Amino acid sequence: MRRRHHFKTSVKVRVSTENSSPLSPPVLPPPPPPLLAKAKCKARLKAAKQMTPPVAVQASEEAIKKTVEEATDYMQPCESSQKKAKVTSTLSPTAEEDDYQMPKAQKAQPKILEQKGQEEDEEEEDEGLVLEQRHAPSLSELDSSSSLSSLDETESPECPPLVGGTSNPVMQPPRKSMSALRKMSAAFISFFAPEKRVARMVEDLSRDRRMAFGALVQDFLRQQRDALKPHCLTSAVQLLQDLRLFINQAKDFLLECDELEPPIETLLTENEKDQALEKAMFRCVLKPLKPQIDAALRTLHKQDGSFQRMMDSLQRAKGASPQKLFGVQVGVPDAQGIEKIKHKLTLMQRAYSPIDKVLLLLQICKLIYKTMKNKSGQEFGADDFLPALSYVMVLCNMPEISLEVEYMMELLESSWLTGEGGYYLTSVYASLSLIQSQPEDVPLNGLTNQARVSLKEWSRRRSNETTSQKDNKLHQRFIKVLFQDGDSSLVKTLMWKTALNGEAMAQLCAVKFGVDQPEDYSLYWRRDRVLTPLPPNAQIQDLQSMGMSGVPFIYQASSQDERSQKLNRGSAVDLTEAAS
Amino acid sequence: MAAAGGKTYSFKVVLLGEGCVGKTSLVLRYCENKFNDKHITTLQASFLTKKLNITGKRVNLAIWDTAGQERFHALGPIYYRDSNGALLVYDVTDEDSFQKVKNWVKELRKMLGNEICLCIVGNKIDLEKDRHVSVEEAEGYAESVGAKHYHTSAKLNKGIEELFLDLCKRTLFLNAVYTVSLSVFHNTTGFMINQNCVFQSATWHCSFTHKQLIMFSVVL
C-alpha cells in the first residue's frame, strides 16, 4: 500500500517535471551508460532548443561532449536530479509521516510505522530535513570541498546580463585552478540544477527594468547606493535590517507578480522554493551592493569604536595564554590548522550570501571538532567545544569576524537561525563576547551590558519580524500599474499602504506617470477579464481577498474605456467626479 | 491519518547545567538510540535534532547544548533566548550541581517568564548509593517553581525517552495555551488568562483539541 503511494507520487512528479522543463534530466531511471545518455540528452536538448537561448544550448552540448569522456562527472547531474525526486516524494503526507518517530507509548496504535527495515526512509529523512527546515546541512554532510554558490560561481558566458548598465562591481574571488573539463561539467550541472536555474531567472528578471520586478529591484539598488555613502550612514543594524526587509518584500512580490517564466512551481517543490528564492534574492540584492555594504559596515564599526575594542581584546587574550584562559582540555588545531581556518574566514568575508557564510562557518567548526577528536574517539558537547572555538578565534586574530557574525545574524532568515547554522553562529557570537569580556569582569556578569542590551533588541526584532511578516503583507503591498496613454504604455511598481484608498492610489499614479490632468484618468483593474474601474474607497485588503494578485492595474484616460467597457461607464464617471 | 495536513512544530530546547553532570551523554543517548545511529559517529553532540510525532502533531526538536563551566555562565542568555524549553541537569551525587540548577531557574524565570517549559533533571541515578540530593527536596523544589522533575541515567538509558517525550508534550501544550491566550487577548480586549494559573494548575496533557483549549482558557 505504501509502496503504491510512493509510486503514485513519483509518477506525478515525473510528469510535471517533463512537461514544464524539458531540460531537466529524467527523474526516475538510474544514470544510463554514457553513450546512451549522450543520445538521450541530445534528443532532449533538441526538443528544448526553441525554448532556450541558442548559446546556452551550445554550451551545454559541449559540456556533454566533454563529460561523456568522464563518466564520473556525468553522474553528477543525474545524482542531483534523483535527490530532487526523493525530496519531492517526502512531500506526500504519508511519506513524511514516516520520518517522525512515534513515542513508545503509542506504538500499540494502528497505522504506525515499523521501525525496522527502513533504511531507505532514513536516507530520505536526512535530505528532507535539510531542505524542509531550510536549515544548514548538518556538519556531517559538509566537507571542505562542498561548493558555495556565491564563491565559486563564475559569470558564465552562456548567459550575459540583460542590462549592462547596472554597474555591477563584483569582486571576483580568485578561483582555484580548475581544469577546462571540470569547468564545463560545472556549467553543465548548474545548467540543469533547478535551484540555480531559478537563481539565474530571478537575476535576469531583476536586471530588466521593463519588468515590474526588475524596476523594483533596480530602484532599490539605486536608492541603496546613495544610502550607503559614508555621510548617510546611521547604524549597522538599521542598514542590514533595511536590506532584509526589502528581500522579504521582493520575494513576496516576485511570487505574486507572475513574471517568472516558467513559473517557479514547475521547477521546484514547495519545500525547495523558499530556499531557492532566498538565494536568488541574495544574488540580485546583496551581490551588487557587496562592496558598498562592506565599506559601510567597516566605517560604522570603526566610528563607534567596536572594531578597535575587538582588536584590543583579541590581542589581550593572545597575550594571556588562551589555552589557560578558556580552560581548553581538548586537542586544538596546530599552526597549519589555524591557517586553514583563517583561509576559510577570508573566503567567508568574500561571500555575499549569508547562507554561504554560515556554511563556511560550519566547515570551520567541523575542522575544530576534528582536531578535538585527535586525543580520543569520544563525542564532544559544548563544554569542550566552546573553549576550543574561543581559542581558535583568538589565534586567528581577525577582528573582522564580528562584522561577519552581525551580517549573518541580521540577514539570515529565522528558520536558519534555529538550526545547526544558527547554533554555531550563536557559539561564535558567544565566544567573541567571552573574548571581549576578559579578564576584568569575568565572574557572573561577564556579558557586557552593551552585549546584553543589543542581544535583547536583536531577539525582539527578529521575533517581531517573523510574527509580523504575514501582517506586513496586509500593511503594504507592491502593485504593478500599467499606464496607457495613446500608443505608449509604461509599467511602474507602486507601493500600496493600508492607509491609502483607491482614490489616493489614482492620485499617486497621476504623480508617478506625470499626468497633467488627473481628472481625465482613472485606475482600472481586470476582474473576470472585464476592465473595471477601481472604486474610490477600495482598500488593498479588499482587493486581495477578491483574488487580485499579480494582475496589473491599468491607469488610463477615462474616455479610452468607453470602447472596451460600456457597462461600467457610469461608475467610471463617478470615480472621476469623486477624484476632482 | 489525522495529521496529514497538520502543521509541523519546531521547538528549541536548551541544555543547562554544570560541566560533568552528563548533559552531553544524556542527549547523545537520546538521539543515538533512534534513527540517527547511522550518522552518530560524525555528528557532534553540541547541537542535535530529533523528530517526534505526538498524537499526530509533528515536532522537530533542536537541542542546544551549552558550556557548563562557571567561566561561561554569563553566556547563558545568548544560548537560551527564544527557547521553548530548558533541561536543567544536575548530578544526583553532587549537591553543588543542584544549587547551580536553582540559579538557572531563577535566571530563566526572570528573563523569559513562564513562556518556557522547565525540566529539572537528576542524572546518574545509577549511582543511587552516592546520592546527595534527596528525591523529596528536588521534586518539592521543582513544583515550587512550576517545573517538572525527572530522574535519568544516561549510562543505563533510563528515563531519557520519557523525559523528552514529556517535554515535547508540555511544550506543545504551553504553545497552544499561549496561542489561545493571545487570541483571547486580541478578541476581547482587557481579558487575558492568568498565565501563572494556567501554568500551575494544568495537568500536562497534550490531547486537548483547539476547541477544548479555548473553553479551557475561558473557564480560567
Name, in order, each residue with C-beta under 8 angstroms of B96's C-beta and a sequence gap of 6 or more: B18
Q: Which of A280-289, A362-371, A532-541 has the lowest mean pLDDT?
A: A532-541
Q: Do residue B1 and residue A111 have CB atoms under 8 angstroms apart?
A: yes
| Omega within 30 of 0 (cis) for the link into A399 | no
Please give the Cα distance from A379 to B24 (Å, whole number). 8
Q: Is residue A213 part of a domain?
A: yes
Of B15, B39, B62, the CB nearest to A419: B62
Is the pLDDT reported for residue B212 higher than 90? no
Would B33 be classed as within a structural domain? yes
User: What is the residue whose three cell numbers read 507520487?
Assistant: A9
Best B78, B171, B172, B175 residue to mutate vs chain A (most A CBs within 10 Å): B78
Supply the mean pLDDT for chain A. Answer: 70
Kindly tell me if the per-residue pLDDT of A196 is higher than 70. Answer: yes
Distance CA B120, CA B128 (A): 17
Give me the pLDDT at residue A273, please. 87
Same domain, A287 and A219: yes
Top-confidence residue, A567 or A266: A266
Residues A367 and A354 in one domain: yes
Q: Which of residues 2-31 of B touch A (CB under 8 A)?
A: 3-5, 10, 12, 15, 19-20, 23-24, 27-28
Residue of B nearest to A446 (CA): B74
Helix (H, G, I), strand (E, B) or coil at A481: strand
Same domain for A285 and A225:
yes
Judge whether residue B94 has pLDDT over 60. Answer: yes
Same domain, A358 and A455: yes
Give A299→chain B minimum CA distance, Å: 26
CA gap B60, B51 in Å, rounded: 5
Closest C-alpha among A200, A218, A213, A284 to residue A252? A213
Say which range, A19-28, A488-497, B11-20, B131-140, has the weakest mean pLDDT: A19-28
Instruction: Give the DSSP letter string of chain B.
Output: -TTTTPPEEEEEEEEE--TTSSHHHHHHHHHHTTGGGGTTTTS-TTEEEEEEEETTEEEEEEEEE---SGGGGGGHHHHHTT-SEEEEEEETT-HHHHHHHHHHHHHHHHHHGGGSEEEEEEE-GGGGGG--S-HHHHHHHHHHTT-EEEE-BTTTTBSHHHHHHHHHHHHHHHHHHHHHHHHHHHHSTT----HHHHHHH--------HHHHHHHHHH-
Radius of gyration (C-alpha) of chain B in whole angstroms: 18
CB-CB under 8 Å, B51 with A101: yes
B65-92 tens-digit pLDDT: 999 998 898 899 999 988 999 999 999 9
Q: Is B206 part of any domain?
A: no
B148 Cβ under 8 Å from any chain A Cβ? no
Touching A: B residues 26-85, CB under 8 Å: 27-28, 34-35, 38-40, 42-47, 49-55, 58-60, 62, 64-75, 77-79, 81-82
Of A470, A492, A514, the last residue of a domain is: A470
Pick the most confident of A94-103, A109-118, A278-287, A318-327: A278-287
Q: Note whether A125 contacts B: Cβ–Cβ < 8 A.
A: yes
Distance between A20 CA and the closest CA of chain B, angstroms: 27
Are A418 and B12 an interchain contact pair (Cβ–Cβ within 8 Å)? yes
Does the CB of B185 have a partner CB in chain A at under 8 Å?
no
Question: Between these two residues, B164 and A155, which has the higher pLDDT value?
Answer: B164
Residue A162, helix vs strand vs coil: coil
Q: What is the pLDDT of residues A207-222, one digit of tens each?
A: 998 888 999 999 999 9
Highest mean pLDDT pick, A73-82, A551-560, B22-31, B87-96: B87-96
Indicate whether A344 and A447 sit together in one domain. yes
Say whether B74 and A445 touch across the interface (CB within 8 A): yes
Give the distance from residue B194's alpha carbon to the nearest chain A alpha carbon, in angstroms. 23
* Residue range(s) defining the domain that contains residue A346: 329-470
Arithmetic mean of pLDDT, A122-126: 37
Say yes or no: A456 and A361 in one domain. yes
- Is residue A487 situated within a structural domain? yes
Residues A242 and A348 in one domain: no
Q: B35: which chain A residues are within 8 Å (Cβ-Cβ)?
A: 101, 118, 122, 125
The answer to whether A447 contacts B78, with C-beta atoms less than 8 Å apart, is: yes
Kindly report the average pLDDT of chain B as a whole number.
Answer: 78
| Band (A294; pLDDT cuts 50, 70, 90) | very high
pLDDT at A329: 83
Q: What average pLDDT does this structure show over B189-203?
A: 37
pLDDT at A347: 97
Q: Summarize pLDDT for A83-106 with one digit per residue, the tens.
A: 443 333 333 334 344 457 665 544
On the CB side of A368, CA atoms within 13 Å amount to 32
HSE (side-chain half, CA atoms, 13 Å) at B140 = 5
Interface membership of B87 toward A (CB under 8 Å) = no
Mean pLDDT, rounded, for A274-291: 94
User: B77 vs A125: CB contact, 8 Å cut-off?
Assistant: no
Residue among A206, A151, A216, A156 at smallest CA distance from A353:
A151
Question: Would you say residue A360 lies in a domain?
Answer: yes
Residue A350 lies in a domain: yes
Q: How far is CA A21 from CA A40, A86, A279, in A?
A: 15, 18, 21
What is the DSSP annotation of A75-93? HHHHHHHHHHHHHHHTTSH
Q: How far apart are CA A254 and CA B47, in angstroms?
A: 35
Nearest CA-CA partner of A345 in A334, A358, A331 = A358
Angle at A295 (CA atoms; ends A289, A298), nearest 5 degrees = 135
Q: What is the pLDDT of residues B144-174, one digit of tens each?
A: 999 999 999 988 989 999 999 999 999 998 8
Residue B181 lies in a domain: no
CA A191 to chain centre: 18
Q: Which residue of B has its CA nearest to A390?
A: B72
Q: What is the pLDDT of residue A130?
A: 34
A124 or B163, greater pLDDT? B163
pLDDT at A57 over 60: no
Average confidence (pLDDT) over A174-185: 56
Spell out which residues of chain A touch residue B57, defining contact as CB-CB under 8 Å: none
Residue A206 domain-assigned (yes or no):
yes
| Beta-carbon separation of B42 and A463 below 8 A | no
pLDDT digits 0-9 by tens, A229-264: 888 888 898 899 899 999 998 998 888 877 887 888
**What is the average pLDDT across A449-472?**
64
Residue of A nearest to B166 (CA): A103
Mean of pLDDT values over A69-91 = 39
Q: What is residue A454's predicted lDDT score, i.e. its pLDDT? A: 72
Confidence of residue A18 (pLDDT cuts 50, 70, 90): very low
**Cβ atoms A498, A539 nearer than 8 A:** yes
**Residue A563: is it exposed, middle or buried by C-beta count within 10 angstroms (0-12/13-18/19+)?**
exposed
Judging contacts by C-beta atoms under 8 Å, the chain B residues touching residue A434 are 71-72, 75
A323: confidence class by pLDDT, cuts 50, 70, 90: confident
Beta strands in A219-306 (DSSP E): none
Range of the domain at B111: 8-174
Within 8 A by CB and 6+ apart from A557, the residues are A485, A520, A521
Cβ <8 Å between B53 and A101: yes
Mutate to test the interface with B, among A142, A373, A378, A386 (most CBs of B within 10 A): A386
Please report whether residue B195 resides in a domain.
no
Residue B182 has pLDDT above 50, yes or no: yes
Beta bridge partners of B149: B120
Residue A121: pLDDT above 70? no
Contact A420 B47 (CB under 8 A): yes
Evaluate whether ipTM surpasses 0.90: no
A240 shares its domain with A354? no
> What contacts B130, CB < 8 A, 6 or more positions away?
B93
- Is A318 exposed, middle or buried (CB count within 10 Å of its CB: 0-12, 13-18, 19+)? middle
Q: What angle do CA A321, A324, A328 make, to 5 degrees?
A: 120
Same domain? For A440 and A501 the reply is no
Q: Please state the domain count of chain A.
A: 3
pLDDT at A115 (0 to 100): 40
Domains: count for chain B = 1
- Give B 91-130 residues with CB within 8 A of chain A: none
Task: Residue B77: list chain A partners with CB under 8 A.
Answer: 447, 452, 455
More confident site: A49 or B37: A49
Residue A61: name the closest of A76, A45, A72, A77 by CA.
A45
- Within-domain flag for B68: yes
Please indicate, yes or no, whether residues A198 and A249 belong to a single structural domain of this protein. yes
Q: Beta-carbon neighbour count of residue A179 at 10 Å?
A: 8
Residues A362 and A413 in one domain: yes
**CB spacing of A326 vs B42 below 8 angstroms:** no
Distance in angstroms (rounded) separating the CA atoms of residues A410 and A511: 35
State the average pLDDT over residues A485-499.
75
H helix or E strand, kind and range, residue A379: none
Note whether A327 contacts B: Cβ–Cβ < 8 A: yes
Please check the confidence at residue B183 and state whether its pLDDT lies above 60. Answer: no
Q: Which residues on A lie below 8 Å from B53 (Cβ)?
A: 97, 100-103
- Residue A122 has its nearest CB partner, among B23, B35, B161, at B35
Q: Lowest-confidence range among A61-70, A140-149, A522-531, B106-115?
A: A61-70
Query: With an 8 Å Cβ cutoff, are A101 and B54 in contact?
Result: no
Binary contact (B54, A424; C-beta < 8 A):
no
Share of chain A above pLDDT 70, in %: 54
The Cβ of residue A415 has, within 10 Å, a number of other Cβ atoms equal to: 18
Chain B residues touching A105 at Cβ < 8 A: 165
Contacts 24+ apart (CB under 8 A), A293-299: A293/A228, A293/A239, A293/A243, A294/A349, A295/A228, A295/A230, A296/A228, A296/A230, A296/A233, A296/A236, A296/A239, A297/A236, A297/A239, A297/A403, A297/A406, A297/A407, A298/A400, A298/A403, A299/A230, A299/A233
Asked if residue A199 belongs to a domain, the reply is: yes
Query: Which residues in chain B touch residue A94, judged by CB atoms under 8 angstroms apart?
Result: 1, 4
Give how far B142 is from chain A: nearest CA, Å: 24
Chain A from 345 to 384: CB within 8 A of any B CB: 369, 379-383
**Chain B within 8 Å of A520 (Cβ-Cβ)?**
no
CB B123 within 8 A of CB B159: no
pLDDT of A38 reads: 46
**What one-character DSSP code corresponds to residue A521?**
E
In a domain, A291, yes or no: yes
| Burial category of A340 from C-beta neighbours within 10 Å (exposed 0-12, middle 13-18, buried 19 and up) | middle
Pairing between β-strand B8-16 and β-strand B47-54 as defined by DSSP bridges: unpaired
Q: Residue written as cell 540530593?
A: B133
Do the domain assignments include residue B166?
yes
CATH number for the domain including A521?
Answer: 3.10.20.90
- C-alpha A463: how far from its chain's center? 19
Q: How many CB pairs under 8 A join A and B?
A: 151
Cross-chain residue pair A430–B75, CB shorter than 8 Å: yes
CATH number (domain holding residue A348)? 1.20.1050.80
Task: Return d(Cα A287, Cα A354) in angstroms, integer.
Answer: 11
What is the side-by-side strand order in the sheet with A521-527? A488-497, A476-485, A553-557, A521-527, A530-533
Please check the confidence at residue A555 and state whether its pLDDT lies above 90.
Answer: no
pLDDT band at A468 (very low <50, low <70, confident <90, very high): low
Q: Does A446 touch chain B if contact means CB atoms closer than 8 Å?
A: yes
Q: Which of A426, A454, A470 is the last residue of a domain?
A: A470
A377 and A259 within one domain: no
Taking the C-alpha atoms of residue A12 and residue A266, their distance in angstroms, rounded to an integer, is 12
As a whole number of angstroms, the distance between CA A284 and CA A206 comes to 7
The CATH number of residue B27's host domain is 3.40.50.300
Contact B46 A459 (CB under 8 A): no
- Rounded to whole angstroms, the Cα distance separating B149 from B137 reads 11
Asked whether residue A318 is domain-assigned, the answer is: no
Within an 8 Å CB–CB cutoff, is residue A168 touching chain B? no
**pLDDT of A7 higher than 50:** no
